[in-house]
């Protein structure tokens, strides 16, 4: 048990460190090769911030730990919206000026509905996974087209300023990409092993561990970047981190895990976890879209989101034993 706890904590710390290095290196490399800032934010940074969830869920699925694989993905989405955006909006209310991000809000709601439909049979088959990855590929194609067409956008402007602050030589950027990816893989294996051992020792399901400890751990890179962006007044960047991560988690993370090893899930995943994720996603759409003016997530709405996360986590822990 002690070794498992050490492995879990060390895995989380290394995961956070490596994800940060990987994102910075990837974004700087893309910038050196002339990729538009909007495209970097929507594709490169979105992939980088979801890399921990991808690697952790892939390892979990390969080892037959479906609970951690799916709990990590959906739990991260819940944490991203309710915890990270909630705290960010309480610190500084978030105004959504970016047209690109406003377009992504309804898309994320529709994709969440697709997930609910797929889980009616309490399983993610290879067909389901293939559909998710096909939708993901189509979304990436649309994203690239948007990024090339709309080079001037508030989200792009904020990201350009952020990239200028973290600029580095291309050689160093490539080193950080490789080092970050290598440490990410090793730390993910440590995290999954530690989580499974702890769950077994405590008699808690892998799903609950995935929804709480693992999901929160893999969401910490988004928490750090969104809080920093919110404090700087970079509202669209704070929201963009979350939207990009949730889109990747819902489609790519679950899709890759399902392709590696199709899995069954308990009925509580749909009736509890996906339901909470869906309500939060729709709430984010209603708060942030701004039907006749720029959307705005105020402090009151941020407090509602944070309260929802606390209540959801408390319920999970109360019913776990």
- Alpha-carbon distances of 146 from 158, 161, 181, 263, rounded to whole Å: 17, 20, 28, 34
Q: Which of 10, 41, 11 is nearest to 187 (CA)?
A: 11
Helices (DSSP H) in 81-234: which residue ranges?
86-91, 99-118, 126-149, 154-165, 170-202, 206-209, 215-231
Q: Which of 24, 51, 43, 93 is nearest to 243 (CA)?
A: 43
Query: For 16-57, how does the pLDDT look when each residue is reduced to its tens digit (9 = 90+)?
Result: 787 777 777 777 776 776 666 666 666 777 777 777 888 888
Confidence label for 271 from pLDDT (cuts 50, 70 and 90): very high
Query: For 121-179, how does the pLDDT look when each residue is reduced to its tens digit (9 = 90+)?
Result: 999 999 999 999 999 999 888 877 766 666 566 666 666 666 666 667 777 878 887 88
Q: Which of 24, 27, 51, 28 is nearest to 187 (CA)?
A: 51
Domains of the chain, with CATH numbers?
A: 38-153+203-318 (1.20.1420.30)
Counting every residue, how long is the chain? Answer: 321
192: its two tokens = 């999954």
pLDDT above 80 for 199: no
pTM: 0.86
Q: What is the 3-state secondary structure (H, E, C) of 87-106?
A: HHHHHCCEEECCHHHHHHHH
Supply the angle between the helices 215-231 and 235-248 in degrees, to the nearest 10: 160
Quote the pLDDT of residue 259: 93
From CA 211, how far away is CA 101, in angstroms rounded? 26
Residue matched to tokens 């009151």: 300
Quote the pLDDT of residue 34: 67
Q: How many CB atoms lie within 10 A of CB 315?
A: 12
Which run of H or E residues covers position 151?
A: none
From CA 11, how far away is CA 102, in angstroms rounded? 35
């Amino acid at each position: 048990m002690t070794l498992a706890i050490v492995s879990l904590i060390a895995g989380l710390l290394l995961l956070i460190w490596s994800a940060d290095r990987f994102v910075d290196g990837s974004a700087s490399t893309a910038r050196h090769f002339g990729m538009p800032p909007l495209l970097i934010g929507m594709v490169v940074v979105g992939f980088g911030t979801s890399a921990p969830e991808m690697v952790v869920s892939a390892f979990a699925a390969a080892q037959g730990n479906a609970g951690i694989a799916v709990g990590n993905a959906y739990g991260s989405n819940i944490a991203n919206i309710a915890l990270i955006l909630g705290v960010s909006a309480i610190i500084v209310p978030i105004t959504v000026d970016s047209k690109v991000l406003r377009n992504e809000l309804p898309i994320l709601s529709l994709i969440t509905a697709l997930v609910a439909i797929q889980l009616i049979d309490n399983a993610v088959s290879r067909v389901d996974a293939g559909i998710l990855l096909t939708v993901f590929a189509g979304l990436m194609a649309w994203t690239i087209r948007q990024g090339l067409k709309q080079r001037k956008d508030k989200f792009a402007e904020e990201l350009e300023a952020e990239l200028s602050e973290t600029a580095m030589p291309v050689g160093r950027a490539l080193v950080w990409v490789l080092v970050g990816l290598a440490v990410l893989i090793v730390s993910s294996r440590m995290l999954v092993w530690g989580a499974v051992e702890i769950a077994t020792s405590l008699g808690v399901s892998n799903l609950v561990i995935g929804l709480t400890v693992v999901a929160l751990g893999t969401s910490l890179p988004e928490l750090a970047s969104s809080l920093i962006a919110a404090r700087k007044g970079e509202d669209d960047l704070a929201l963009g981190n979350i939207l990009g991560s949730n889109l990747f988690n819902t489609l790519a993370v679950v899709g890759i895990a399902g392709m590696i090893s199709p899995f069954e899930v308990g009925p509580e995943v749909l009736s509890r976890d996906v339901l909470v994720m869906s309500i939060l996603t729709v709430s984010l759409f209603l708060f942030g879209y701004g039907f006749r003016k720029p959307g705005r997530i105020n402090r009151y709405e941020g407090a509602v989101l944070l309260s929802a996360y606390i209540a959801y986590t408390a319920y999970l822990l109360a019913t776990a034993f």
